[in-house]
Amino acid sequence: MDDALAILDHYIFNTVYATYPFTTPSLSPYFSDPSNVVRQSTSLFVFVYIGAWAMYLSCAGLSYWFLFDHNLKKHPKFLKNQVQLELWTCFKNFHYLVLYTVPWFVGEVRGYSKLYERIEDHPWGWWYIPISVVWFLVFTDWLIYWAHRFLHHPWVYPRVHKVHHMWKVPTPFASHAFNALDGYMQSLPYHLFAFLFPLQKYVYLILFVGVNIWTISIHDQLFISRNHIINSTAHHTIHHRDFNYNFGQYFTFWDWISGTYRDPLDELKFADAVRKTGEYQWTRARLPKEVVERGDGTKDEEDKGA
Ligand SMILES: [Zn+2]
Ligand SMILES: [Zn+2]
């Protein structure tokens, strides 16, 4: 963030803050000095807000147009004008989310975090880079799991997290369509990490962008991964619909040991419970052929009255 702010100051903000109304006696003390905390906060708010929209619209947009299965829009639980509603939810919440987040970025820029620049600034040098990446994923996955569990507490859920569960059949645009407090709570582990553990700052930038893209990917309905370790869109789709399963972000580890794991390949067992609804046919249609053949041939016979 410090590099980004320095570049933005050079090309944009130095000029902007040298013009009216920032030059008036009441504002000038805050905006003439690039190291003033008010100026830094204002600049970071503008930059992060625009950057968040740019990343969200471009990545979720590409995912929606090229990866998302548009047949899902005919699903019985796909809301009328759902994509517009997802975008509107973001519009109502992004500025609050950025507002809550800016203090963390200001802290980074002012040198309070443990982010470092040169590889040799850490005693383990290059060796520390892959270690820090793995530790970042493990640490943040652990905290996000429990933050997500907390968001499902009966008192918290209707006030904070319910908005994100409006989308029973999410699109990539649902990835960031949540209450601002919800998004903030689930992003806290990333910021916390940078203040607790040493991390090379460009690695952090890549990871931060990466986790946002990951968040989009688990809402894209492209069922590539069905393995038991990675928390994929198949797992997260189950979470959107059934609430109490698959709370994880990247991995299923915490769901396994906490008893909240539901295997997407076991969907047919679950589907029995809802097989009289339109949901059943949709669930069945989206499973791999071998699972359908293995799982419920007899049920089909029952359907025909055999
Ligand atoms: Zn979601
Ligand atoms: Zn949830």
Q: What is the pLDDT of residues 49-68, one digit of tens each?
A: 999 999 999 999 999 999 88
Cα of 181 vs centre of ligand 1, distance in Å, is 15
For the CA of 182, the nearest ligand: 2
Domain coordinates in residue numbering, the chain: 50-262, 264-298
Cα of 152 vs centre of ligand 2, distance in Å, is 6
For the CA of 168, the nearest ligand: 1
For residue 136, what pLDDT is reported? 97
For the CA of 176, the nearest ligand: 1
Cα of 177 vs centre of ligand 1, distance in Å, is 8
Distances (CA, A) of 79 to 205, 210, 240: 35, 29, 14
81-132 per-position pLDDT tens digit: 999 999 999 999 999 999 999 999 999 999 999 999 999 999 999 999 999 9
Cα of 214 vs centre of ligand 2, distance in Å, is 16
227 close to 191: Cβ distance less than 8 angstroms: no
Cα of 231 vs centre of ligand 2, distance in Å, is 14
Average pLDDT over residues 155-170: 93
Helix (H, G, I), strand (E, B) or coil at 230: strand
Q: Tell me which amino acid residue 257 is.
A: I
Cα of 147 vs centre of ligand 2, distance in Å, is 10
Rounded CA gap, 22 and 190, in Å?
A: 33
Does pLDDT of 205 surpass 50? yes
Rounded CA gap, 85 and 230, in Å?
A: 29
For residue 305, what pLDDT is reported? 32
Cα of 125 vs centre of ligand 1, distance in Å, is 37
